[in-house]
Structure 1
């Protein structure tokens, strides 16, 4: 350590050069920093259903399309309105990345006028072709099994404009190759050469995604600009997964910049009020910003994308680095006040020496807390665990190198006499001494209440609730959900039935029953399947189901534009599959995804008689549900694993079994309280709230380590537990209070976000910090006073 102190204090030249090279290199990588809000970030890694879903998309194409809801006050099919819609469609088609635009103008009509079975194969009726009866078309759009509550709302005033975006075949092939090779890797079937090839392909896929995201962002901007020109005669909202992805990235980017700046400004103000000195503001803030920017550059260098889950990493790293530097500043000022004649270099060295162990230990326990996220099985959560583990390591190293170097080039600070007895921490010491027994009773009651809340915890959340009602996403999703048949798709795939369907009347009857059952459920919106075509054909055949002979003639002669609407998406001769697509209404407050999926599967298997391995439920709804269901199990595993590991670390740090037990008890409280509050308030676990427990544990044990480390140092003076408690509250208690209050107020700024998960993250992280502070300045010292462990 002597060489380290000499390098950073007495001869800092080389240290400065190396530090600057390291920092500048990674900060220069920031332009390559990427955000990701794709559907891949909302699924469970290793989920077998994901691989099946990818194969289904390969057969039937992507369901990633944009939906423009077109709502009018009067008649949707009025000539003026149709001209307006046609003009919108024409302008949309001029946008380079748009592959196709589907509207009520160009879809095939079967009852406007009514067509017989023979007419279906020869006549192509649509509004755009000019051969449709508009009065009949209005009725057909609302009543049609294909278009009703799908392309047109039941009240006939809202229509969907479906916008398909161009893909990139080369990108898709690379992505497919990557997915196939990842499966082989999981089964240990890749050679060394193939593993190297996989790494290269993964890098290429990342670059492909960057190009595709930039194109998508540009396209959606152009679409919005186009839409704005047509709001004079219709209410228009943009929806669809690509738009949601783009807007979430916009929210993350905005929060990352705006709230990081707000946190920095607020923390600067608080530090100025606390320390009343410009160096004690600029130095901690400067080191914190440098640490967060460096980590951002490392993420860019490694090609790691920030997702919804890790979107607040920058603010967290500001906080983690600031926490270390505040402890250094407080200890330096305390030593300077107690030893005013001490040599400047010695004063800096003593500060580093006395704070190295507790800061090192707190960093290790924080790494353990965030490392617990690695067992979640959800890639973005795992990445967040790695990000923060690396980030807190950088925070420690940077603080212990930058602090002495900066101090070395500044004149010795004249630390004025200040009162070490902060009213708040001193009051907590008095409270612990005189009313600690009452505190234990209150905590037991609070724990009991939290347990009740934890038992009410669920993972059933509505995607629409992620956005405030004032946002376009919320308004667009609500309109599409309520008027146009739902949003999130659920798919049911029946294997090896495509050929039999045309000849087997009983099979057609079973598929019809399933279709009707799905349509009757409260949670479902529009249901589309091969039975949709059968309903159209039955109506064209005087309400009589056509037999196999007619069906085979019709399927071979059906016009191409009708085929793409009612045949190709729901039956595949190549794969032998039948496919049903059910859109789920996210606005249904009683939606329970897992229960719904199980209910549907049981009906098909038990009531209809299909073998369970002959059909599969898939789609984004299933993938998202699998991820949500894994959250609760991983949350329990995470908490248990992290406390076991931290207890083992406490044994190593404190070298006392009894002291380790006393230290772990108060640090279970923040996690218990947060989960309890969430349960009592019916706030479900999701991708962001799952990380708060790990953060709460990391923060709590940091405070415990700092407090006990100082308690042990002060105890050697007189071996008086009570006096030691007061001295500890008036020394390390100050740093704990300053850090916690600064960080708490900083995170509360996130409550102003438009993104609901960010609001929850900010509020619950603030609660975690306050409860961790109070637990370690009240319950922990009271337990020490009661049991008087050997120190």
Structure 2
């Protein structure tokens, strides 16, 4: 320690210069920092369904296309409206990264006029070809099994424009190689050389992902500009998975910058109110900002992408660093008040010596809390665990280096005395002494209520609920959902049936039954399958079903434009698969993903007699559900392991079983309260709120460690438990109060976000902070007074 104090107190300029060099190095990396809300970050890595999904995409193409809803007041097929649509389509096609645009202008028509089987192959009717009867076309768009509630709404006022973006074939191939090698890696089938090659490929994919994401963002921005230029004759909204991921990144990026600045501003104001000195604002805020910037640079340097789950890491690091600094500041001021004659160097040394152990222990327990996320098995959660574990370590080290160096360069400030007996914390001490038993009864009632709320907790949330109703993305998704057959796709793949389908009439009837069943569900919008082609051919054959012989003849004669719409997406000769695409209604408030998936599986296998292993439910709908369910399961495991590890840490820190148990009890409550409130309010856990429990535990136990450590020191004076409680509340209690209030107000800033998960994260983390403060200043001292544990002096 003498070497340490000799360096930080006698060579502060050199130390700060070295710290500045480190800081500058990592800040220079920040331009490479990246956010990721791609479909990759919303699915479970290593998921068997993900492997299957990737193989299906090769056969049928990606579902990553954009949808523009085009809504009019009058007649959609009026000549003026069609000309406007043509100009709009032409502008979209000219955008560099747009591969194709599909509209009502270019799709093949089968009933405008009605085509017989004889001329089905010869005629290619569409509005663009100027051979369509527009009156009949209007009726076909509203009633066709292919286009109704899909390309055109049932009222004929809204149409969908499908925009497919260009693929980067080299990048696509690289990702495919990576995915294949990841599968082998999971199965332990990679040699050391192949593992090294996989690391190289991962880095290449990472670099290309940045480029592709920026390109996609630019393309979406250009499409939005084009939309704004053509909104004079139609109400236009953009939708589709690429837009959702792009907007999520935009919201996260905006929140990261705007709310980090807002948190800094608000915390500065609170510190000024508390300490009434510019010194105690600039030093804590400055060190906190540097800590968060260094961690951001480290993430950029290591190539770690920040996802929805880890998007609030910057704000978390700000408040966690601030927490350490505030404890140092409060202790520094206390010592200065008690010993006004101490010189500056001794004052700093005493502060560090007295606060080193409790701050080290709190850092270790917080490290353990976030480190528990490493067992989740979910890549974004694991990365978040690493980020915060490294981040709290940096916060601790920087605080104990920068604070003494800066203070060594400043003159000793005269600290005015304050009346702790009038403080909120002293009032809490009086409350514990007089009404402690009533407190226990109230808390038991709260715990029972919390358990009831937890029993109602779920992870069933909808993409549309991530955005406020007044945002463009919410309005666009709502319009597409209600008018154009739903948004998020669910795919059902039937194996080894493609060839038999043409010859087996019973099989065609069974597929029709599946189609009709899916169409009847209240959670589903448009259902698309090979059965659509059968319905169109039956209409063309005077409503009589075709036998296998004629079906084989007709399918070969279909024009290519028709095959692209009704054959290729739903039947693959190469893979021998039949495919159904069911679009799910995200606006359905009763939507429960897991229940819907299980219900469909059960009905198809039990009621419709398909073997359970002959079909697969897949698509982004299933993959996202798997992610949420895995998050929920891992959260339960995480909480149990966190408490076990923290109890072991407490045994090491306090060297007392009774004190360790007493310290653990109050810190179970914030997590129970948060989860219980969410369950009672029917708020589902999502990608961000799922981590609140770990955060609440990590920060809550910090308060317990600080309080018990001070309680043990104060107890030495007179061995009076009640007097010790009052002194502890008046000293460390103030630091806990200042820290918690500052942190709480900082997180509440997130309530102003447009991204609903960020709002919930901010509000519930703030509640967790206040709960942790109150339980550690009421329940913890009450338990100590009741049990009177033996305290080693």
Q: Distance in 1 between matches of 2:136 and 2:161?
A: 21
SS at match of 1:127: coil
CA distance in 1, matches of 2:563, 2:730: 78
The aligned residue for residue 578 of structure 1 is 578
Task: Write the distance in 1 (CA, Å) between the matches of 2:376 and 2:503.
Answer: 48
**Aligned partners of 1:6 and 1:12 also within 8 Å:** no
Aligned to 1:341: 341
Conserved? CA contact 2:570–2:579, under 8 Å: yes
Rounded Cα–Cα distance in structure 2 between residues aligned with 1:165 and 1:323: 47
- Partners of 1:747 and 1:299 lie apart in 2 by 22
1:675-696 CA deviation, whole Å, 9 max, x = no partner?
Answer: 0000000001111111111111
> Which residue of structure 1 aligns with residue 681 of structure 2?
681
Establish whether residue 256 from structure 1 lines up as the match of residue 232 from structure 2.
no
Contact map agreement 2:593 2:625 (CA 8 A) in 1: yes
Distance in 1 (CA, whole Å) between partners of 2:52 and 2:338 is 68
Kept after mapping to 1: 8 A contact 2:12/2:409: no
Name 1:68's counterpart in structure 2: 68
How far off is 1:379 after superposition? 1.5
On the 8 A contact 2:420/2:426 being kept in 1, the answer is no
CA shift digits 1:426-474 (9 cap, x unpaired):
0000001110000000000000111110111111112111110000110
Counterpart-to-counterpart distance in 1, 2:371 and 2:555:
56
What's the CA shift for 1:45?
2.1
Partner of 1:432: 432
Distance 1:672 1:755 in 2: 25
Q: d(CA) in 1 for partners of 2:780 and 2:415?
A: 31
Do the aligned partners of 1:449 and 1:676 also contact (CA within 8 Å) in 2?
yes
Does the Cα contact within 8 Å between 1:422 and 1:730 map onto a contact in 2? no
User: Deviation at 1:417?
Assistant: 2.2
Tell me what 2:775 maps to.
Answer: 775
Tell me how far apart the structure 2 counterparts of residues 417 and 475 of structure 1 sit (CA, whole Å).
57
Q: Which residue of 2 is the match for residue 698 of structure 1?
A: 698
User: Is residue 10–residue 345 contact of structure 1 (8 Å, CA) maintained in 2?
Assistant: no
Matches within 5 A, 1:309-458: 309-458=309-458
Q: Does 1:18 align with 2:21?
A: no
Deviation at 1:589, TM superposition (A): 1.0
Structure 1 Cα separation of the partners of residues 173 and 413 of structure 2 = 63
Question: Which residue of structure 2 aligns with residue 236 of structure 1?
Answer: 236
Q: For 1:188 and 1:591, how far apart are their aligned partners in 2?
A: 38
Does structure 2 retain, via aligned residues, the 8 Å contact 1:100–1:163?
A: yes
Cα deviation digits, residues 388-439 of structure 1 (max 9, x gap): 1111000000000000111111112222222233520000000011100000
Q: Deviations over 1:224-278 (max 9, x none)?
A: 1111111111100011111111111111111111111111001001111111111
Q: SS of the counterpart of 2:778?
A: helix
CA distance in 1 between counterparts of 2:390 and 2:22 reads 15
Higher mean alpha-carbon deviation, 326-335 vs 599-608, is at: 599-608
Per-residue deviation, 1:14: 4.1
Structure 1 runs (4+) deviating above 6 angstroms are: none
Tell me the secondary structure at the aligned position of residue 70 of structure 1.
Answer: strand
**Which 5+ residue runs of structure 2 have no aligned equivalent?**
none
Tell whether the 8 Å contact from 2:533 to 2:566 is kept in structure 1 after alignment.
yes
Secondary structure, counterpart of 1:140 in structure 2: helix
Which residue does the alignment assign to 2:106? 106
Partner of 1:156: 156
1:120 and 1:374 mapped to 2: Cα distance? 59
Q: In the alignment, what sits opposite 1:86? A: 86
Contact 1:146 1:528 in 2 (8 A): yes
Query: How far 1:16 moved relative to its partner?
Result: 2.6
Partner of 1:718: 718
Question: What is the aligned partner in structure 1 of residue 509 from structure 2?
Answer: 509
Mapped contact 1:26–1:298 kept (Cα < 8 A): yes
Q: Is the 8 A contact 1:422 1:734 kept in 2?
A: no
Greater Cα shift, 415-424 or 612-621? 415-424
Q: Which residue of 1 aligns with 2:733?
A: 733
In the other structure, the counterpart of 2:96 is: 96
- Contact 1:37/1:308 (8 A) holds in 2: yes
CA shift for structure 1 position 555: 1.8
Partners of 2:422 and 2:409 lie apart in 1 by: 31
* Structure 2 SS opposite 1:421: helix
Deviations 1:546-581 (A, max 9, x none): 111221112222111111111110011111111000
Deviation readout 1:103-127 (Å, 9 max, x if unpaired): 0000000000000112111110000
Q: How does 1:451-600 map to 2 (within 5 A)?
A: 451-600=451-600
Structure 2 Cα separation of the partners of residues 446 and 13 of structure 1: 53
Structure-1 separation of matches of 2:394 and 2:423 = 34
8 Å CA contact retained: 2:12, 2:406: no
Q: What SS does structure 1 have at the residue aligned with 2:230?
A: coil
CA-based RMSD of the aligned residues comes to 0.9
Equivalent position of 1:606 in the other structure: 606
Whether 1:59 and 2:59 are equivalent positions in the alignment is yes
Matches of 1:394 and 1:184, distance apart in 2: 36
The question of whether the paired residues in 2 share the 8 Å contact of 1:68 and 1:237 is answered with: yes
Aligned to 2:44: 44
Partner of 1:665: helix, strand, or coil? helix
Consecutive unaligned residues of structure 1, counting only runs of 5 or more, are none
- Note the C-alpha offset of 1:377: 2.3
Aligned to 1:143: 143
Corresponding position of 2:615: 615
Secondary structure in 1 matching 2:684: coil
- 1:73·1:157 contact (CA, 8 Å) conserved in 2? yes
Q: CA deviation at 1:13?
A: 4.4
Q: 1:632, CA displacement in angstroms?
A: 2.4
Deviations 1:112-166 (A, max 9, x none): 0000112111110000000000000001001111100000000000000000000
